[in-house]
Amino acid sequence: MSEAEQIPASASEAAASAVLDALNATDSNGTEALNATAKFVATPEGTALAYGSLVFMALLPIFFGALRSVTCSKSKELGENDYDSGFRNAADMPETITSRDAARFPIIASCTLFGLYLFFKVFSQEYINLLLSVYFFVLGVLALSHTMSPLMSRVFPASFPNKQYQLLFTQGSGESKEEIVNYEFDTKNLVCLLISSVVGVWYLLKKHWIANNLFGLAFALNGVELLHLNNVSTGCILLGGLFIYDVFWVFGTNVMVTVAKSFEAPIKLVFPQDLLEKGLEASNFAMLGLGDIVIPGIFIALLLRFDVSLNKNSRTYFYSSFLAYIFGLGLTIFVMHTFKHAQPALLYLVPACVGFPVIIALFKGELTEMFRYEESSEETKEEATESEKKDQ
């Protein structure tokens, strides 16, 4: 965090490793230069409102994304591609992160971050950010539309004429024909897409912080919902690796700060510290990187699915890790204010989110069961198939 009281970023979201990784990088000390030039001093009330709002916004995608990940996981196990969250296409189904993916991710993230650093050094920042704006406009519209889909299914009356559509592109003919694009949607999805497009245009034209937050919340919720760790060990590998990544790039180099000052995209949640003075036109922001939400969030979502697998009608590990996240984020803010220096949030979030549930499992005698819990992935299925063939 900077002296301007910005919450730093840390690591990045796994599925879009290249993108979200850079995204988090942008949040570490991201608005230090802006606030320094403005010479703005936030009031205690403005600071409390800003950080309280950021913490609240961070909890929303973690809580609801974790709940939706349970439904998503059940649908995947049953082989169903059509349920309340609006999944009908393979691209919308969850992506499972294996231990191999988790071990490689910090290295890939570091290479991506340094690549962006060189990119901004060599090429014009204006043109790069123009391309990024268009890219994130498309991603944001799709993410927000997907996020809104379950809500729209409940808002529209049963009598609403909901027609089904299919977008299909194929290549070749006869037996050699293969699908390039096969996307199914309905009228409700089109309404969601239209509303999301309006928000997207608003963001492109105004770069307003509310539009930024709508996209950021959608990215974070989709990340927590669709990125599934296959077991607790994989989660520990991922969080441990990104813990080191975050500390190194924040404290060890100026790469994160340089990218942060150059990168413009809705990859962070922001809230103005001068909202009470300037209203919606406020411009001095505190911020929280999406990686500080998504990375701990996918681990918390895994623990919720573990709770469900125990069939005990309790959510002990989910609530303990959820409270641990609040504690870790609060500790990050406290240390930042005490030492007046940027802090990598994962430095505090990782020990809290991993440590609290593990200690509880140890006391309950369920530690072995926790680490044996396994969710199937395409990789494990292929290994199981090959093993069966060898046995035969």
- Mean pLDDT is lowest, of 86-95, 201-210, 259-268, 371-380, for 86-95
Please list, residue by residue across 141-175, b when 16 or more beta carbons sit within 10 angstroms of its beta carbon and e when fewer do. bbbbbbbbbbebbeeeeeeeeeeeeeeeeeeeeee
Please give the pLDDT value at position 42. 79
- Domain presence at residue 136: yes
Domain membership flag for residue 29: no
Segment 199-221 shows an average pLDDT of 95
Distance CA 90, CA 184 (A): 10
Structure confidence at residue 114 (pLDDT): 93
Assign 49 a pLDDT band (cuts: 50, 70, 90).
Answer: very high
Q: Which residues are marked as active site?
A: 246, 292
Assigned domain for 91 exists: yes
Q: Tokens 């037996």 — which residue?
A: 175
Indicate if the pLDDT at residue 115 is higher than 50: yes
Residue 161 lies in a domain: no
Dist CA 360 CA 317 (whole Å): 8
- Note the pLDDT of residue 8: 43
Domain count along the chain:
1
Is residue 206, in this structure, part of any structural domain at all? yes
pLDDT at 230 over 70: yes
The position carrying tokens 């009598």 is 159
Q: Is the pLDDT of residue 157 over 90?
A: no
The verdict on residue 387 lying in a domain is no
pLDDT of residue 39: 56
Examine the pLDDT at 81 and tell me if it is beyond 50: no
- What percentage of the chain carries pLDDT values higher than 90? 49
pTM above 0.85, yes or no: no
What confidence score (pLDDT) does residue 23 get?
42
Angle between helices 209-226 and 187-206 (to 10 degrees): 130
Chain mean pLDDT for the chain: 82
Please report the pLDDT score of residue 211 as a whole number. Answer: 95
Residue type, 185: F
pLDDT for residue 146 is more than 60: yes
What is the domain extent for residue 256? 50-148+189-372
Residue 38 placed within a domain: no
User: How confident is the model over 43-60, as a mean pLDDT?
Assistant: 94
Position 72 pLDDT exceeds 80: yes
How confident is residue 340, by pLDDT bands cut at 50, 70 and 90? Answer: confident
- CA-to-CA distance for 283 and 273, rounded, in angstroms? 8
What tokens appear for 220 in the block? 């974070």
Residue 108 pLDDT class (50, 70, 90 cuts): very high
pLDDT at position 167: 83
pLDDT band at 287 (very low <50, low <70, confident <90, very high): confident
pLDDT of residue 201: 96
Segment 129-151 shows an average pLDDT of: 91
Both tokens assigned to 312: 């005990």
What is the token pair recorded at 345?
């949030």
Instruction: Judge whether 18 lies within some domain.
Output: no
How far is 6 from 3, CA to CA, in rounded Å?
Answer: 7
- Give the residue, 327 or 174, on which the prediction is more confident: 327
Q: What's residue 86's pLDDT?
A: 42
Q: Rounded mean pLDDT of 112-140?
A: 89
Query: How would residue 169 be classed by pLDDT, with cut points 50, 70 and 90?
Result: confident
**Which residue is listed with tokens 């991922």?**
238
* pLDDT value of residue 31: 39
